[in-house]
Amino acid sequence: MIAEKRERGLVIIPTFNEADNIQRVIRGVFDQALPLDVLVVDDASPDGTADLVRSLMEEEERLYLETRPGKLGLGSAYIHGMSWALERDYQYIFEMDADLSHDPKHLPDLFWVLKDHDIALGSRYLNGVNVINWPMSRLLLSWLANIYARTVTGLPVHDSTSGFKGFRREVLEQIDLNRVRSDGYAFQIEMVYRAWKHGFRVREISITFVERRSGISKMSKGVIWEAVWMVWYLRFMALLGRL
């Protein structure tokens, strides 16, 4: 007899120095009254983020923590969390930033979309521009990066670099996670592109992104260049049928 999968989801939150934000974002997820657990993947944050998660775990049994020995990058933190999820029986697996840029109030929309789509993508650029507190330069960069990625890869989404999204577990089972190479914004593009190339159905919902008020961004110029090259690599690998 085939065991019935639980209709539960897991929200993966990668952290590096998010002490000011982590407890609020976790509470925000649990406030949504959805069948969701939370996994924080912390890279030995010097500010004690992991200890704050541990103390919340004492009162919240749906909260889990994985720690890694040093700052190993956002992409590999997600891969770690996704593999952890696949070893358990989660049906829906979500990505979400710790810095409150992603409002947990959007989780119900993402969750319900996954009932009949394979990927639910929280998009900042679906109905105009929904970004708060970014300088014009960063907005332009993000906007142009999306046009660039869409032109090179043909991926039909408005916000391929968004880090707020959900996958049905079958998507992550199908993608060979060990072959996912990129780490920053390119990681987001790569995951959606691989899924789309495998024929999975992507549905975007509109989200509002609010720039962090506490802590600092860990993204660097390096991750921008990674994305510039990665889209060509992905297109090339797709041509060879090796994604």
Ligand X SMILES: Nc1nc2c(ncn2[C@@H]2O[C@H](COP(=O)(O)OP(=O)(O)O)[C@@H](O)[C@H]2O)c(=O)[nH]1
The separation between the first and the last C-alpha atoms of the chain, rounded to the nearest angstrom, is 33
**Of these partners, Mg ion, ligand X, none, which one is at the site of residue 219 (CB under 5 to 8 Å by kind)?**
ligand X
- Report how many residues bind ligand X under the rule CB under 6 A: 20
Residue 136: phi, psi to the nearest 5? Answer: -55, -35
State the residue number with the nearest CB to ligand X: 217
Stretch that binds ligand X, among 1-9, 69-77, 195-203, 235-243 (CB under 6 A): 69-77
- Going 228 to 72 to 119 to 105, the CA torsion angle's sign is negative
17 binds Mg ion (CB under 5 A): no
* Nearest residue to 188 (alpha-carbon basis) of 156, 216, 163: 163
CB of 2 to ligand X, least distance (A): 35
By CB under 6 A, residue 15 contacts ligand X: yes
Stretch that binds ligand X, among 41-49, 50-58, 86-94, 150-158 (CB under 6 A): 41-49
Q: Does the protein bind ligand X through residue 226 (CB under 6 A)?
A: no
Choose among Mg ion, ligand X, none what residue 41 binds, the Cβ cut-off being 5 to 8 Å by kind.
ligand X
Nearest alpha carbon to residue 200 among 91, 75, 82, 116: 116
- List b or e across 171-206, with b for residues whose CB sees 16 or more CB atoms inside 10 angstroms: bbebbebeebebbbbbbbbbbbbbbbbeebebebbb
What residues numbered 52-111 form the site for Mg ion, per CB under 5 A?
99, 101
Beta pairing class for 119-123 and 165-168: antiparallel
Count of residues near Mg ion by CB under 5 A: 3
CB of 106 or CB of 117, closer to Mg ion:
106
